Amino acid sequence: MCGTILPGTLPVYSRWEEFLKAMAKNTQRRRSNGDGWVYQDGPQWRYKLAIGVDPVTGKLQYRGGRAASHAEATEKLRKLQSELLAGRVAAPTKGTLGKYLDEWVETTIKPNRADSTYRQYRWLIDQHIIPHLGKKKIEDLRRPDVQKLISMKASQTVQPRAKEAKEEPTAKLSRSTLRLIRAVLQAAYNDAIRDGLASINPASHVELPKEVKQPPVSLTLEEARKLLDAAAQSDLPEFWSFLFMTGTRLAEACGVRWQDVDFDAGTVRISGQLMRRDKALTYVPGTKTNQIRSLHLVKSLLNQLKALKSKQLIDGVSDPDGVVFLNPYGRRLDPKFVRDRLVELCKTAKVKVISPHKARHTAATLAHAATGDIHAVQKLLGHRQVSLTADLYGHGSSIVQKKVATALEELIRPSEAKNAD
């Protein structure tokens, strides 16, 4: 039994056998792009749409699905036809999202990005994406699916990674992790669209849960002094001084070479990083933001570096690339080694435990508190935009706020400010 013919569709058949016979009679007519039909298959209804020709085999490609009723199947077919006209229907693939992400991270990310980025992407894909979305076909994933994943992950509790951190036994998945999950899917689908495997990016316009911003964790001035006093008695005093006095990233500090230090000018050139490549610590030119910057070295730090260079010459210790800071065994500094030593140092100094990145926060916060110059702090840290520096450090310093309040009082009520003194 045939139904009403819809624009761009074939007749509706009540039985599968009738559909096959009709198809056999019309084999001489080539179906054009956009043709579709609805037919009954047992208690259910199916809809099918021709979406294009396979460039390899020359055969028509189809998209379709199941529905509970004729009306629902017809409605879904019309919707699919509209999406085809709008260019939002991709050719069907046999691969799942999980299989695609596995190949994508190995062939696109691993050869072209930093090893730390590859490991992070690999962990996010294996831990957070594939277990929930991996079985879906690439072209079938939609924005609500990704939004549902982000919402579910936002309420998930995880064990803290750092054993030394004074946290609760369980903690919420951080907003930065949620942002990275979305970013990985966005990047993967951008490539999938270019390869013709998908027509839309389902990670676009996915919202992250709101989060109250907290000021960066850092040491107070008194705590920083205690820590550096304890560092002076450690086996890496020059490295700790450099880390706190320059505010460099850990990879940048570990990658400083003797040829980057200008003893006459009293400066150091930050132009590379020490990164793990194929399980080896390798010097890599360039910084995280691809900015090469020159930093001033205070006199005490400059003297420490001069003494360190002399000691290495006497001991016959050197590095093939001229890397300055080496561990007590004459080898390059491993990030885990540095983090573990900093934990021990904090405990020795009896201050709150921080990470090397929090040492960078400490340097930036104290520098801003002392000078109030957010642009100078931006140059120190190597941020691309001053807005990032201001967002992180421009509002959290009580010392700066006190200076501003005092200046306003002296300007508006000079007599009362004088009496207060």
Where in the sequence of the chain do the CATH 1.10.150.130 domains occur?
A: 97-194
Q: What CATH number should be reported for the domain whose range is 16-85?
A: 3.30.160
Kindly indicate the confidence band of residue 304, based on its pLDDT and cuts at 50, 70 and 90: very high
For residue 302, the model assigns a pLDDT of 92
For 394, the token pair is 């421009």
| Phi-psi sector, 63: left (phi>0), alpha (psi -120 to 50), beta | beta
Can you tell me the distance from the alpha carbon of 82 to that of 420, in angstroms, rounded to the nearest whole number? Answer: 74
- R_g of the chain computed on alpha carbons: 31
**What sign has the CA pseudo-torsion 182, 183, 186, 191?**
negative
What value does the mean pLDDT take over residues 312-331? 92
**H helical segments located in 38-142:** 70-85, 97-104, 110-112, 115-124, 130-133
Q: What spatial distance separates the first Cα and last Cα of the chain, rounded to whole Å?
A: 99
Most confident of the ranges 165-169, 247-251, 348-352, 417-421:
348-352
Where in the sequence of the chain do the CATH 1.10.443.10 domains occur?
A: 221-403
For residue 264, the model assigns a pLDDT of 93
Percent of the residues in the chain that have a pLDDT greater than 90, as a whole number = 35
Can you tell me the distance from the alpha carbon of 62 to that of 64, in angstroms, rounded to the nearest whole number? Answer: 7
- In CATH terms, the superfamily for domain 221-403 is Intergrase catalytic core (1.10.443.10)
**What sign has the CA pseudo-torsion 319, 322, 323, 327?**
positive
For residue 387, the model assigns a pLDDT of 56
pLDDT for 199-238, tens place per residue?
A: 789 999 999 988 766 666 788 889 989 999 999 999 899 9
Domain 97-194 falls under CATH 3.40.190.10: no
How many CA atoms within 13 Å lie on the side-chain side of 115? 13
For residue 165, the model assigns a pLDDT of 42
List beta partners, residue 137: 96
pLDDT for 115-158, tens place per residue?
A: 888 989 999 999 999 999 999 998 889 999 999 999 999 888 76
Percent of the residues in the chain that have a pLDDT greater than 70, as a whole number = 72
**Contact assessment for residue 283 and residue 274, using Cβ atoms and an 8 Å cutoff:** yes
Can you tell me the distance from the alpha carbon of 290 to that of 268, in angstroms, rounded to the nearest whole number? Answer: 16
Mean pLDDT score of the chain: 79
**What sign has the CA pseudo-torsion 40, 41, 44, 47?**
negative
For 231, the token pair is 């560092």
Instruction: Look up tokens 């000079």; give the residue.
Output: 414
For 338, the token pair is 């540095």
**Contact assessment for residue 37 and residue 48, using Cβ atoms and an 8 Å cutoff:** yes
Of 36-50, 87-101, 273-287, give the lowest mean pLDDT range: 87-101
Neighbours of 83 (CB within 10 A): 17
CA dihedral 182, 292, 334, 305 (to 10 degrees): -150
Can you tell me the distance from the alpha carbon of 214 to that of 217, in angstroms, rounded to the nearest whole number? Answer: 8
pLDDT at 379 exceeding the cut of 90:
no
For residue 84, the model assigns a pLDDT of 74
The closest alpha carbon to 116, from 230, 317, 254, belongs to 254
| DSSP symbols for 233-263 | TSS-HHHHHHHHHH---HHHHHT-BGGGEET
For 47, the token pair is 């809809």
Q: Please state at what angle helix 335-349 crosses helix 356-371, rounded to 10 degrees.
A: 60
Question: Residue 88: phi, psi to the nearest 5?
Answer: -110, 20
pLDDT for 246-300, tens place per residue?
A: 888 899 999 999 999 999 999 999 899 998 887 789 998 988 777 888 888 889 9
Where in the sequence of the chain do the CATH 3.30.160 domains occur?
A: 16-85
Can you tell me the distance from the alpha carbon of 205 to that of 333, in angstroms, rounded to the nearest whole number? Answer: 41
Can you tell me the distance from the alpha carbon of 112 to that of 230, in angstroms, rounded to the nearest whole number? Answer: 41
